[in-house]
Amino acid sequence: MNAPFPESPSPAPQGEPLHLLIAAPRGFCAGVDRAIEIVERALARYGAPVYVRHEIVHNKYVVDGLRAKGAVFVEELDEVPDGAPVIFSAHGVPKSVPAEATARGLDWLDATCPLVSKVHRQAERQIEAGRHILFIGHRGHPEVIGTLGQVPEGSVTLVETEEDVARLDFAPGTDLAFLTQTTLSVDDTASIIAALKARYPEINAPRAEDICYATSNRQAAVKAIAGDCELVLVIGAPNSSNSLRLVEVAQRCGARAQLIQRADEIDPAWLTDIGTLGLTAGASAPEELVREVVALIATIRPIREETVVTTEEKMVFKLPRQLMD
């Protein structure tokens, strides 16, 4: 993508400073950090090319950077040559994928976020206990496809909305459990869970909330700033569930909200008549893109930058054993 900055110096921006509220935490989570490091370490160990099934994380800037280092992104395993190393994305894959890779003798690494893997194991345990799973998530999302692929076909019903709950027709006494995608709206999911419990009071709940800490923390951080902002910019990809949820959270707090992937998508007209602008980034967006956006905004309006911290994150996930020596 072309650089978003003018090649020649432009006059210093004039006018009243724009109050820029930057949410924290924002950007990369521990699962994304781990997935990217897996690809980079695999490239160092095996040399290029290293194949990756699907985008390792939902961010074009990150994917393009890894591609430049020698990663090759494919949709399915039949695109991976025999003998080549292959990595599965952070969103998780159905059980059939590693089984196919093993059958072909491929050297594979699993970059599935450990918090997604936790949901996979919960799904297996619920089926072993004889329960039917009601899975709250977005149809077609890679994480949902991966989770449904952990258990026998027909043992899970996908629920996306409260209206879906109203349409369920399980008989009283049916042994049910619910699980959720990790990157959902905290508020929407709470409403759906409440509807499930109202309709099926005996439904089995997970021991701990499935929505991951990073998703919850980033939504809480946006809530902390959005009420003071006329506009909130969310840096993230259109196929990033957690980034789209940040846009929704800001809108529900009364702010206009805009999803952007890079600074050059900003329309200067957005900044003309506002006093306070919010800025955050989805869990797959690196901090470089945040600073790129801040730098571009500063060429349009003088800014007064303030970071609003709602919590500190210290989560770190271990790498696969194959990459530890």
Extract the annotated binding site for isopentenyl diphosphate: 58, 91, 141, 240-242, 284
Separation CA 3–CA 7 (nearest Å): 9
Helix boundaries (H) for 47-181: 60-69, 96-103, 114-128, 142-148, 162-167
Q: What is the CA radius of gyration of the chain?
A: 22
Nearest by Cα to 34 from 243, 284, 280: 284
The three-state (H, E, C) secondary structure of 98-134, written as one string: HHHHHHCCCCEEECCCHHHHHHHHHHHHHHHCCCEEE
Instruction: Name the 3-class secondary structure at 213.
Output: helix
CA nearest 241: which of 285, 184, 192?
184
Residue 207 has φ and ψ, to the nearest 5°, of: -65, -35
- The active-site residue, picked from 40, 55, 79, 143, is 143
230 among known catalytic residues: no
Of 309, 306, 317, nearest to 217 by C-alpha is: 309
Are the CB atoms for 20 and 51 separated by under 8 Å? no
- CA angle, residues 173, 176, 182, in degrees to nearest 5: 160
Beta-carbon contacts of residue 94 (< 8 Å; ≥ 6 apart): 145, 146, 148, 149, 150
Binding residues: 29, 58, 91, 113, 141, 182, 212, 240-242, 284
Where in 236-272 does DSSP place strands (E)?
256-260
Rounded Cα distance between 317 and 114, Å, is: 7
And the tokens for 279?
């800025």
What pairs with residue 256 in β-bridges? 231
Catalytic residues, by residue number, are: 143
